[in-house]
């Protein structure tokens, strides 16, 4: 399917600089642009590529002023990155939708299935499950007893949703994610081993949540582990029992949140962040990659880095000393030697 610059500009409410009739049928990165493709420039670090890209159309911010001639047709928009997201969403929606129940899938007669649902081969839907309208359940998905799944949610291949968990509407759960496995609850016994504590709670994912591949969200010991509306979790994340993640919080890969911790709304966590259990993190907090949080963060919109976590600005001041420790140690050694020699001369 081809789209002209004129059509794209009309959809995005953008301004055309160049040939309005040039057409594209694919998308490319600006540094790898090919004729017949559309690309975008949002990060100034990539500005040099706009003068050499072979892409036919480039989305740019309205503030962009070229320093020399650009061969591609430009479409100026308020936010090039957001505009690209809109185009990709339109492209995704243009693809044919999967519908119907494939052979070799199992749906319990006690389950409730909505309209326009897709269930792939080898998927299993257990007793009492409630599947909303427009839900897509890809092959090898397991939906346990009494699970509820809201309208237009997508479960990609290999997702496992344990019994009684609740998933809202318009959610996306990527391949291999496990929702509702037992929390890590064990009590030491007199026999010097560990006795398992039954995990009888559930997991609740509210609306518009996206869960990355192979991420695990454990069921609560009692009550609920809750992921609030609009949360985005990357691949390979661990959310432990009885955790609550606030609305619109985002976490990058390999983050781990220990049990019973409360994360505020609109937080941003970098990769490999670790948060201890039974603490709280205020709204809007930003944690740099590999940050280690072992106590509550009460200041909203704080930016922290390091392990243990500390204020970003204070960390950067301290880092000047960290990276010079070897040199400082050598200097101290020289000073100690000089002081010793001076003492001997005085004697």
Query: Which residues are annotated as catalytic?
Result: 241
Euclidean distance between CA atoms 216 and 236, whole angstroms: 7
The answer, yes or no, to whether the previous bond of 308 is cis (omega within 30 of 0) is yes
Radius of gyration for the chain, computed over Cα atoms and rounded to the nearest angstrom: 27
Place of tokens 């959310």: 239
Euclidean distance between CA atoms 25 and 244, whole angstroms: 43
Say whether 312 sits in a helix, a strand or coil.
helix
Tokens of 145: 């007893």
Q: Cα-Cα-Cα-Cα dihedral of 113, 119, 124, 125, to 10°? A: -10
Please name the residue ranges forming H helices in the chain: 5-12, 80-94, 312-322, 325-346
Euclidean distance between CA atoms 56 and 311, whole angstroms: 45
Euclidean distance between CA atoms 340 and 347, whole angstroms: 11
Cβ neighbours of residue 160 under 8 Å, at least 6 residues apart? 141, 142, 144, 177, 178, 179, 180, 181
């Amino acid at each position: 399917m081809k789209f002209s610059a004129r059509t794209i500009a009309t959809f995005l409410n953008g301004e055309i600089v160049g040939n309005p009739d040039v057409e594209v049928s694919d998308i490319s990165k600006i540094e790898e642009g090919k004729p017949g493709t559309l690309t975008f420039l949002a990060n100034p670090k990539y500005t040099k590529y706009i003068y050499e890209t072979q892409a036919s159309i480039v989305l740019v911010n309205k503030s962009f002023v070229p320093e020399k001639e650009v061969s591609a047709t430009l479409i100026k928009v308020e936010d090039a990155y957001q505009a690209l997201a809109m185009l990709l969403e339109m492209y995704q929606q243009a693809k044919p939708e999967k519908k119907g129940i494939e052979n070799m899938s199992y749906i319990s007669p006690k389950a409730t299935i909505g309209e326009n649902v897709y269930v792939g081969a080898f998927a299993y839907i257990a007793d009492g499950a409630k599947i909303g309208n427009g839900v897509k359940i890809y092959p090898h998905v397991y939906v346990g007893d009494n699970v509820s799944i809201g309208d237009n949610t997508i479960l990609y291949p290999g997702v496992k949703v344990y019994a009684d968990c609740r998933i809202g509407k318009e959610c996306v759960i990527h391949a291999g994610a496990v929702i509702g496995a037992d929390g890590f609850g064990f009590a030491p016994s007199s026999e010097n081993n560990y006795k398992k504590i039954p995990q009888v709670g559930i997991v609740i994912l509210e609306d518009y949540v996206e869960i990355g591949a192979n991420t695990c969200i454990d069921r609560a010991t009692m009550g609920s582990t809750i992921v609030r509306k609009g949360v985005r979790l990357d691949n390979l994340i661990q959310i432990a029992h009885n955790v609550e993640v606030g609305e619109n919080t985002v976490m990058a890969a390999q983050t781990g949140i220990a049990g019973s911790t409360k994360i505020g709304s609109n937080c941003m966590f970098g990769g490999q962040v670790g948060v201890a259990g039974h603490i709280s993190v205020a709204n809007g907090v930003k944690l740099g990659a590999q940050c280690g949080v072992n106590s509550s963060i009460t200041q909203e919109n704080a930016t922290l880095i390091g392990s243990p976590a500390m204020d970003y600005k204070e960390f950067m001041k301290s880092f000047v000393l960290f990276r010079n420790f070897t040199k400082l140690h050598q200097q101290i050694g020289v000073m100690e030697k000089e002081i010793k020699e001076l003492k001997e001369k005085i004697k």
